[in-house]
Structure formats: C-alpha cells, structure tokens
Structure 1
Amino acid sequence: MQKIATPKGTKDIISKYPFVFQKKFGQNFLIDPNILDKIITSSNITKEDTVLEIGPGIGSMTQAILENAKEVISVEIDKQLIPILTEQFKNYDNFKLVHNDILKVNILDLLPNSDIKVIANLPYYITTPIIMKLLEEKLPINSITIMVQKEVAQRFMSLPNNKNYGAITLAINFYCDVEFICNVPRACFMPIPNVDSAVIKLNIYKRPPIDVSNTELLFKIIKLAFGQRRKTLVNSLSSEFSKDKIREALIEMNLDINIRGEALSLKEYSNLINLIEKN
C-alpha cells in the first residue's frame, strides 16, 4: 500500500476521490514521513495497544498506527472522508471507523476495558476543548500524543511569569506531564497552514502531582486569577474569599501580598487553597 504521508501519496488520494478541503474542520494533512516516524516512535505503540485516533483525515497517520497497534479506533467528523478511509483501510481487520464529533460522542462507549493511547492532529481552533474533554472525563488513557499549533504547545509547557503561562497551563499540568517531541514547520502539511506546529506528548498522571483539599475550588480560583491578569491575586480572588484571608495565606507562604496570579505555580495554588480553607 502506498504511503499516504508524502506529497505524492496525499495528492493521489485527493485526486482519486471527490474531496474538498473544509476550512471549518482545519484540514491540513501531514506529508512529511520523518515527522510521522517521530510521532509513532514517541507514542510507544505496541501490538498490545488500542489507539484512539482523533481526526484521521485521509489517513496520513492512520496507516502507520494500524501497522503498529493492536486496534485503532478513528473518530472523524467530516462525512466526505468516511468513504475514503473505509476504502483505504478495508483490508485492516484492526481498524474501526466512527463518524462523529469527538466533542459530542461518549468516548467510553468506544473503548475497551483497558488503558488506551491517543494520537491526534488536532484542528487549531478546537485543540483545548478536545484535550480538556479527554482529561476531565477521567478516561482510561495512558498518553496523548498530539500535533498542535506551536503557540499552543508553548502555552502547555510554559512556566510562571511568562506571557504564555495561563489557566490552561495549570489545568494541563494538573492532569499530565507534558513532553516536547519536535517542531513541525508549516511546509510539512498540505495545504500549508498559516502557522507552525509542534508534537507534544501528554503522559497522564495516575494521581495529580499535588495534594489539594478541593479540586473544584482549585480550578475556580485559577480561572479567577487569570480572568484579569494585571490584577493582584488578592483583588482577583476577592469575590470568592475575604481579602484578609488571602493576604494571611500569602504571608504564610512567604509570598508578596501584591503578587499576581501569573506568578504562582500549580503547587502554590494548591497550598493557597489548603491554607485558606484551613483558616
């Protein structure tokens, strides 16, 4: 079978089928086999693994995943790609295709009773909602290897007091360890997008790396803290706690009472909540 993740392989499929690129789905297909190899290698797929692939497109990554995994469940939203994928992989008995929106489908209904691995080339406009759905629903996921906009990757891996550091950074780092795999220049896609990409791997924690008394409250105050970045933490959280309580907790943590939310690490946020709730 011809390799799909090449300029020729992609052009051949597009010319063979009545396919029109859908801008609303952020369709940019990988045409660099070297990047594909890095994705497959870093995901550590074995013949014992079930893989959930989100947005297979024309199958650029699907083909390589099928050759390395026990089973592949590919979820594709674009109905015009379903006959293409069905025809391309009809000879693979480990391929299951689901025509649905990953944000609407009950993912647990698709999965076996064992840990899975996720691989995806996510549309830029919907990256965060998809990742947070995967993480928040407490699915049996071992790792998520994804291609995202380079700026998104930087946001996920950012440190405090950095312009890329935000609520999403803390949310991602609550659920998983973020591993950078490689940068992906825009020329590695067809059609060429307006931005560069990166491949990252999210290694899911069995339990969070912090000990926090109230997880729901943790995410609530993180959202408040980054709602207006220029505000001090005391002012940002004053709708939830008294300013005196916040100041007392910051002093006990040896932090400046005028500190802003963007300066605190995930552990410091958990310490802050634990102290406020204790006092």
Structure 2
Amino acid sequence: MLGPAAQLPPRLALSVWAGAGRLCSLKSRAATRKDAPAARRELSDFPLRSPDSDSEELAFYTSKSRFDPKRYVTSRRLAQTLVQVMGGTGKNFRNLFLECNPGPGILTQALLKTGAKVIALESDKTYIPHLESLGKNKGRQLEVFHCDFFKLDPDNCELPKPPVMESQVLFKKLGIKALPWSTGSPLKVIGIFPIKGERNALWKLLHDIYACDSIYRYGRIELYMFISEKEYQKIMANPRNPQFYQVLSVLWQVACEIKLLHMEPCSSFDSCTQNGQSVHRESPEPAQQKLYFIRMTPRKNLFTENLTPINYDVFFHMVKQCFGKRNATLGYHLPSLSPIDPKHILVQSRQHENTKVTEVYPQEFKRLFETIECSNDHTCKWLYEDMEDLVV
C-alpha cells in the first residue's frame, strides 16, 4: 500500500486509500435501542458535520461575498521573524512550502531567500502577476496557482470564484508523492486563517486529518498558521481553563501537537478585500488583540487499531454528545453512548463515574473511546437510532 496508509495497521489501509469512506462501517457495529430516553439520544441524530451548540460546526464556506477581507503579511521584519522561528537559518532551509494567500509576496520572498521552494496558492487574481514576477529569476523555486487553500477539495460544488481545485490534481502537477503516515510530510503549509470562516476552516482541516483526506492523503503535513487569539484559546484549552474548553479543544489536541511560535498584534497586518482593495474600518476587537503563529503537527500515534479514518466520526460525535451537557458526569453520558456496562468502561479507562465532562483531558477522551471500541463484551459497541437514515 502506498502513501500514508503504508505503515498503518491493516484496518486503516482501505480508508486512507479510498479517502476515508466516512460512516461506511457504522451499520455493522451499531445497535438500536428504542427504549432509551429520548432526551439522551443525541448521538442517534447523526448528520455528517452537523452543528452543535458548543462547537458551532457550520456548513463550510456558505458566504457568497467576493469581498471578504483577508489579512496579509506586509512587514519584512515580520516575514524575517517567521522564517527564524521556523528554523530558517542560512542556506540550510531546504523545505517545500505551500503558502496560503501570500498577497503581495513579502513572506514569499523571505522564504525564497532561504533556499526553500514555494507553491503560492493565491485566491485574488490581482496579485497573481506580481507573484509570478517574483519567481522569474528563481527557476522553478516558486510556482503560483490561482486557488484558495481553504477551499481545496470542497464539499460544496457551487462555491464562488476563485476556482477551486482538488489537491490530487494540484499535487500531481507538482510531482508530489505521498509518504507513509509514520514517516513525515512532503511539504509544509504556511498562512493565515481567514478572518471570516476561521472556525469553519478549523473544522474542515480536522475532518481531513482524521480521514486522511485532501492534503493528508500525502502524509502528516505540518501547518504553520496565524490564528486569532479567540480560537487559539479554545483549541489549546483543557480542564485547567474550562471556560474555553470545548469539542474543538479535544479534537485538535488529540490530532496534533500544537506549539506557539510567535505572537503579533493585529495592527501589523494589512487587510484587503478581493481585488486588492484595502479595508478601512474600525475593528470591533481591542487594539491589543493579537494573532498567534502556531505549528500544528499531526501525531504519529493518532491512529490505532481502535481509532481509524473509518470510525473517527464516531469519536467526534462521542465528544460532541458529552459536551452537549458539559456539566454532566461521565456516568450520566455513557448509558446513552454504548450498551456496554458503564462501570466496566470507566474502570478500564481509569475514570470515575462522577467525573464531569470538563474535567476529562483530551487524551482521556481518546482512551475512553478506544476502551469502548476494543471491548469484547458486546458485538455492538455504540447506540444509534434509525440507522437506515444515515448517509453511508
């Protein structure tokens, strides 16, 4: 088996090769319990990527506006700082970068000077000629495509311009080949999460990572991204700061090692609309608001025999159901999640029935899920209702 599946357990190979096949194995392992209290059957309502009150997982890219502002790196000082914190010193920085919406190309030039090769995906065609001019004397060190990274492999075929692109088509043009999940990454992605739809982008990337889909067909691709202070606090939260702790916190920390590399005031960035027009408006955010430059590295041990690209959606919905009543205990939630004896699950996962959801750390949620998945007590591990209505 080629690509990311090459060194995964046998159960994972099919899902990686076929683009994860979400929900394709749920019917064989699900049970229906009609006598369960209706108020405790949230998991049986199983729409793909459905919103919930805590995670606000929304339909991706629903905005039709062509004038949504974007942030761009326009400071050479900042560009040099970013290169340094990523380890780009001297001529030893021979990485391949996929840069998201480089705009005027200030960071692009800083990367090129280190000897890195850059693939620029720019959604605003106004910047395309300028970016192409940067690569004229660089051989094939810079390649430019009119494309939005955050709309690669879209679910919605009616997305507005700029034209969307499939990662398989893009990577084939570039001659990029997949690496096994345990080996590493063929490239690094660098950019700024969109001002509008930041949370949607976080959710899409999560699904792609867990499904080994889109760019993650090609290995454990690292992300170097600027993220808003608000979303940074949420994805990094744990039981020590429960006010920010939520579904995204659990899923991102289970999926990736996340490291803060740099903080920069929002005032350091220029915001432009489509067609390069500057945005002049008062920000509703405090003047001291910062963007956080983080490295998100998918974990080598993310996938096991019990958490795979086939059943990851079950893990997502287990966590979402728990945070649906975040002040409830594990002892309250488990009977509506699985027919297996809750006390047995808790003992095996080293948890107490009176432990609140907000007291459970991300890796403990993973252990809880895997405990249920690997149990031999029941053929059916999870409880669903109306399984025939699921999309498979």
In 2: Cα distance, 1:92 partner to 1:133 partner: 36
**Pairing 1:230–2:327 present:** yes
Match of 2:341, SS state, is helix
1:146 is aligned to 225
What corresponds to 1:182 in structure 2? 262
Do the aligned partners of residues 109 and 261 (structure 1) sit closer, same or farther apart at CA in structure 2, a change above 3 Å counting?
Answer: farther
Q: 1:201 aligns with which of 290, 295, 299?
A: 295
What pairs with 1:7-26 in structure 2 (closer than 5 Å)?
A: 23-24=67-68, 26=69
Q: Give the Cα separation in 1 of the matches to 2:220 and 2:82.
A: 17
Aligned: 1:57 with 2:103? yes
The equivalences for 1:107-256 within 5 A come to 107-111=167-171, 112-113=176-177, 115-124=186-195, 125-126=197-198, 127-129=201-203, 131-132=205-206, 135-136=209-210, 137=213, 138=216, 139-161=218-240, 162-191=242-271, 194=285, 195-208=289-302, 213-215=306-308, 216=312, 217-242=314-339, 245-256=341-352
Aligned to 2:363: 267
Letter in 2 for 1:116: L
Q: Contact 2:135 / 2:142 at 8 angstroms: preserved in 1?
A: yes
Q: 2:87 aligns with which of 22, 44, 49?
A: 44
Q: State the match for 1:33 in structure 2.
A: 76
Tell me the equivalent position of 1:75: 121
* In structure 1, distance between residues paired with 2:300 and 2:264: 30
> 3-state DSSP class of the match of 2:136?
coil
Give CA deviations for 1:163-208 in whole Å, capped at 9, x if unaligned: 2222222222223211111211122112486442111111232332
**8 Å Cα contact 1:82-1:99 kept in structure 2:** yes
Does the aligned pair in 2 maintain the 1:145–1:199 contact within 8 Å? yes
- The farther-off stretch of 26-35 and 47-56 is 26-35
**What is the CA–CA distance in structure 1 between the aligned matches of 2:247 and 2:369, rounded to whole Å?**
16
- What is the aligned-residue RMSD (CA, Å)? 2.8
Q: Flag structure 1 segments of 5+ consecutive residues without an equivalent.
A: 1-21
Query: Is the CA contact (8 Å cut-off) linking 1:251 and 1:257 kept in structure 2?
Result: no
Identity between Structure 1 and Structure 2 (%): 20
SS at match of 2:120: strand
Aligned residue in 1 for 2:142? 95
Summarize the Cα distance change of 1:130–1:255 in structure 2 as closer, same or farther, 3 Å threshold: closer
Amino acid in the other structure paired with 1:181: L
Give the TM-score normalised by the residue count of structure 2: 0.57
Amino acid at match of 1:275: T
The structure carrying a bigger helix percent of its residues is 1
1:75–1:101: 8 Å Cα contact kept in structure 2? yes
Aligned partners of 1:148 and 1:199 also within 8 Å: yes
Range 245-254 or range 162-171, more displaced: 245-254
Kept after mapping to 1: 8 A contact 2:346/2:353? yes
Cα drift, residue 147 of structure 1: 0.8
Do the aligned partners of residues 174 and 131 (structure 1) sit closer, same or farther apart at CA in structure 2, a change above 3 Å counting? same
Tell me how far apart the structure 1 counterparts of residues 371 and 203 of structure 2 sit (CA, whole Å).
31
Indicate how the Cα distance of structure 1 residues 240 and 228 shifts in structure 2: closer, same or farther if over 3 A, else same: same
Looking at structure 2, the residues matched to 38 and 73 of structure 1 have their Cα atoms a distance apart, in angstroms, of 20
Tell me how far apart the structure 2 counterparts of residues 36 and 88 of structure 1 sit (CA, whole Å): 16
| Range that drifts further, 79-88 or 110-119 | 79-88
Equivalent residues of 1:116, 1:141 under 8 A apart: no
Amino acid in the other structure paired with 2:239: P
Cα distance in 1 between the residues matched to 2:325 and 2:78: 38
1:52 positional shift = 0.8
Instruction: Name segments (4+ residues, structure 1) moved above 6 Å.
Output: none
Deviations 1:6-44 (A, max 9, x none): xxxxxxxxxxxxxxxx651x3122244343223212323
Q: Which amino acid aligns with 1:246?
A: P
The answer to whether the 8 Å contact 2:100/2:191 transfers is yes
Instruction: Between 185-194 and 70-79, report the one with greater CA deviation.
Output: 185-194
Q: Using the TM superposition, give the Cα deviation of residue 212 of structure 1 relative to its aligned residue in structure 2, in angstroms.
A: 6.2
Contact 1:56 1:120 in 2 (8 A): yes
Q: In structure 2, what is the equivalent of residue 257 of structure 1?
A: 353
Number of residue pairs aligned between Structure 1 and Structure 2: 255
